[in-house]
A and B are shown apart, each in its own frame.
Chain A
Amino acid sequence: MMLGEKAIRNYHLDEALEQINQSEYGAHHLIVYPNQRVLRELYTKYVKTQLEQENKTVLILPHYETTDSLKILLAAENNEDTMKKYKDSLIVMDSIKGHFGADDHMVFVNKLVDSAENGVLVIADAGPFFHLNKKEKLVEHELSMPSRFDMNLKRFCVFHKQDFNTLAEEQRQKLVDHHGQVLMIED
């Protein structure tokens, strides 16, 4: 699929995981997921690696999943000792609070980057912008961040396919052009 100048490739989840595992600090990618089941699989497989092997601080902002259910999901994939060990390095924040709460989560992310020894991974669902009918604000928010961060941060902006498809072509194009890589995950 072509949108503007950039080619958008479709990936199976395993291929997408391979791509994001190879991403380096500074990465600011856009991921379109087909359904909640695939996103859950991505959370469990990728976050586990980032916590255990890379020792990163991970911040997840889910939208269609409550923070509690995501924590339960991640705990089911790890034993109790592992979860205790990563208590401080795994942070789950509701995406509406993170994007529209008292403090923008990027202020928090900058503080995390300063304090985290091994860098920070952020997976942020763009769902709140659709839920609150703020699509223009979404484009503005994304474009306010650099295409590549100049710090120890990887950020993956995740969009449900049905949300992404409601954007105007011009909005999609701006988002696609602005992100380092665009991964469209197939079911």
Chain B
Amino acid sequence: MTSSSNRNNKSVLAVDDESAIADIIKQSLQKQQFKVCTFTDPFKALAHFNSDPKDYHDIVFSDIRMPGMNGYEFVRKVKENDPIVKVILMSAFEINDKEFHNLLPDIKVDAFLQKPFSIQQLNNVVEKISIYSQ
């Protein structure tokens, strides 16, 4: 289990064009002692990610269907800057394996979160990622 003491040092960045989802992630993970910043615009999220020191963020959440820049492109750009950051893709749609492999070949995604998700499911996926990133 990841203790709350080491979570204090973990930073999460989340982007979802639905502000309600971004808010839920922020509120839930802040309660778990993570440092969380959220965005509804992937361009702003990416600018923020790139402006922080390399390796600053531990986990990135990204919605898949977003206007302007989809989650695949966002993750690709994030990984270009920080190849070891853990990535969780989220979608309310069925996740299409063929589409995923066509649009994001050679990029490792650490977990998928199907929307709608419960707080428990959110915490579980973060727990899993956090264990692996220790």
Among candidates B18, B41, B65, B68, residue contacting A63 with C-beta atoms closer than 8 Å: B65
Is B70 engaged at the interface, CB distance under 8 Å to the other chain?
A: yes
Q: Is the CB of B99 within 8 A of A132?
A: yes
Contact between chains at A127 and B65 (CB < 8 Å): yes
Q: Is the CB of A131 within 8 A of B70?
A: yes
Q: Name the residue on B nearest A64 (C-beta).
A: B65
Residues A69 and B67 in contact in the complex (CB < 8 Å), given A36-B17, A133-B103? no
Q: Is the CB of A64 within 8 A of B99?
A: no
A49 at the interface (CB under 8 A from B): no
**B93 touches A (CB below 8 Å):** yes
User: Is the Cβ of A160 less than 8 Å from the Cβ of B103?
Assistant: no
Produce 1/0 per residue, A81-95, CB < 8 A to B. 000000000000010
Q: Contact check, A162 vs B68: say whether CB atoms are below 8 A apart.
A: yes
Q: Evaluate whether A163 and B67 lie within 8 angstroms (CB atoms) in the complex, with A36-B17, A66-B93, A94-B93 already known.
A: yes
A20 to B28, CA, bound (A): 42
B92 at the binding interface (Cβ < 8 Å): yes
Which of B67, B92, B99 has its CB near the most chain A CB atoms (within 10 A)? Answer: B67
Indicate whether A127 sits within 8 Å of B67 (C-beta atoms), given known contacts A36-B17, A66-B93, A69-B92.
Answer: yes
Q: Does A130 contact B (CB under 8 A)?
A: yes
B17: min CB distance to chain A, Å? 7
**For the complex, is A19 an interface residue (Cβ under 8 Å from B)?**
no
Q: Chain A residues near B103 (CB, 8 Å)?
A: 132-133
Asked if A118 is at the interface of the complex by the 8 Å CB criterion, the answer is no
Which B residues are closer than 8 A to A by beta carbons?
17-18, 41, 65-70, 92-93, 99, 103
A-B pairs, top 4 by smallest CB distance, nearest first, are A162-B68, A160-B67, A162-B67, A66-B92
